[in-house]
Amino acid sequence: MMTDKVRIDSLGVNSFNENNETYLARQAEYESNVRSYPRKLPLAIAKASGVWITDVENNQYLDCLAGAGTLALGHNHPDVLQSIQNVITSGLPLHTLDLTTPLKDQFSAYLLSLLPGQGKEYCLQFTGPSGADAVEAALKLAKKYTGRSGVISFSGGYHGMTHGALAVTGNLSPKEAVNGMMPEVQFMPYPHLYRCPLGIGGEAGVKALTYYFENLINDVESGVRKPAAVILEAVQGEGGVNPAPVEWLQRIRQVTQEHGILLIIDEVQAGFARTGKLFAFEHAGIEPDIIVMSKAVGGGLPLAVLGIKKQFDAWEPGHHTGTFRGNQLAMATGLTTLKHLKEHRIADKVATQGEWLKAKLSGLQKRYPVIGHVRGLGLMIGIEIVKPGEAQDHMGCYPADGQLSALLQKKCFEAGLILERGGRGGCVLRLLPSLLITNDELRIFLEKFEQALLAAGIKPVDVE
């Protein structure tokens, strides 16, 4: 149903004369209860540019969500917009199934060149345009190649909401009413920089977790059959921004190779310069058997791709299809984005900014003890909120405070700052801004974040 309250002016820019509340009320009427972001970020977006969003009431927000990491170059980057215009005026088809075009050919060649070894050992698979469908394809391919049916995943991991992807996702809430989950999924503990799942912490905790994984695979009495695949994120995103320790990830790679188990690395959120490397697994110097790519790979438009070591490409024609696996506009915006990231050395910029920002947040942590831990890589940063007035556990960690984290997200929004939450009980505030965010804009973030802390009634402590 259309409304006469919205018109398109001669410049093609939407003009609005209704407030956020009215649009949100109609959204609630039109859409399913499944919608989530409008409940936490109650606005109707009128326009956006770079790291800034403007709502229909002309309020401005610094966007540190960026489409959950999709908008690597921010909103409406001029080169990305121009690439869309170029396709529209070129006569290229907008829909091609998996038929090729000169644009797809160029995109494929460039994307392959970014993979380990310039992609010489890899081929690409274009799946349906979501990361979840790419995960589904990766799991199916691993089972098809190995002839085995089991999968090892990790607590805290997030891989999507479709049936198989949800089965290998750690979050229990969306699984509660879903019977008949994909069988033979074995979850193992993932290292945590702040809350070691073994209650040990530090280097000893990492070594114990590494041994635990290796022993499970080697132990003939483990009760777990050799799996087809191990799937993990090199930096867990939704699980609370947990980077994998290098030695742990390297040993997982070695063990999977020794046992003929395919290693699937999910780079949907962490990929393409987000962590200060082009791919998060590069921090450990490893090569996955299958790389899952989405979000930033499409430059803001829907696209998902697998990078598959050629030796594991066991597909028969048509054994994993999808109507929209030939999104030409996304290949254009993706190619423009990937070229910008590489040619402007954005990963190096992001690595430097990430270290600077973590240092500034650690300074805030000293004055605001509700900040229990600051962690992450590059511009993928997590701020864990805790209850400093309660007893610490045996590792010196305060209880997590998801309720205060939710309040801080609200106060950030009121201050003109958009952040997401994640981690157990939503206790982690997460930063995923455009990779082109400037140092001045990061300073604005820090100002708004401290403003939110004060607005939440949190008083700073004196620091000598």
Q: What angle do CA 256, 260, 266 make, to 5 degrees?
A: 50
Q: Using the predicted structure, report yes or no on whether residue 10 has a pLDDT greater than 50.
A: no
Q: Using the predicted structure, report yes or no on whether residue 13 has a pLDDT greater than 70.
A: no
How many CB atoms within 10 Å of residue 47? 14
96-149 pLDDT tens trace: 999 999 999 999 999 999 999 999 999 999 999 999 999 999 999 999 999 999
Share of the chain above pLDDT 70, in %: 96
Among the residue ranges 94-98, 334-338, 341-345, the one predicted with the least confidence is: 94-98
pLDDT, average across residues 316-330: 94
Contact by Cβ (8 Å): 189, 212: yes
By CB neighbour count within 10 A (0-12 exposed, 13-18 middle, 19+ buried), where does 121 fall? middle
191-216 pLDDT tens trace: 998 999 999 999 999 999 999 999 99
Q: What is the pLDDT of residue 116?
A: 98
Q: What is the pLDDT of residue 29?
A: 96
Q: What is the pLDDT of residue 173?
A: 93
Confidence class of residue 463 from pLDDT cuts 50, 70 and 90? confident
For the entire predicted model, the pTM comes to: 0.95
Report CA-CA distances (Å) from 324 to 98, 112, 305, 338, 394.
8, 21, 12, 21, 51
Q: Using the predicted structure, report yes or no on whether residue 164 has a pLDDT greater than 70.
A: yes
Q: Report helix, strand or coil for 387.
A: coil
Contact by Cβ (8 Å): 79, 340: yes
Confidence class of residue 15 from pLDDT cuts 50, 70 and 90? low
Q: What is the pLDDT of residue 16?
A: 65
Q: What is the pLDDT of residue 174?
A: 93
370-411 pLDDT tens trace: 999 999 999 999 999 999 999 999 999 999 999 999 999 999
Confidence class of residue 7 from pLDDT cuts 50, 70 and 90? very low
How many CB atoms within 10 Å of residue 392? 13
353 CB-near residues (< 8 Å, 6+ apart): 378, 379, 437, 439, 442
Smallest CA-to-CA distance from 380 within 412, 357, 406, 411 is with 357
Mean pLDDT score of the chain, rounded to an integer? 95
57-99 pLDDT tens trace: 999 999 999 999 999 999 999 999 999 999 999 999 999 999 9
Q: What is the pLDDT of residue 177?
A: 82
Q: What is the pLDDT of residue 17?
A: 75
Confidence class of residue 326 from pLDDT cuts 50, 70 and 90? confident
Q: What angle do CA 59, 427, 208 make, to 5 degrees?
A: 140
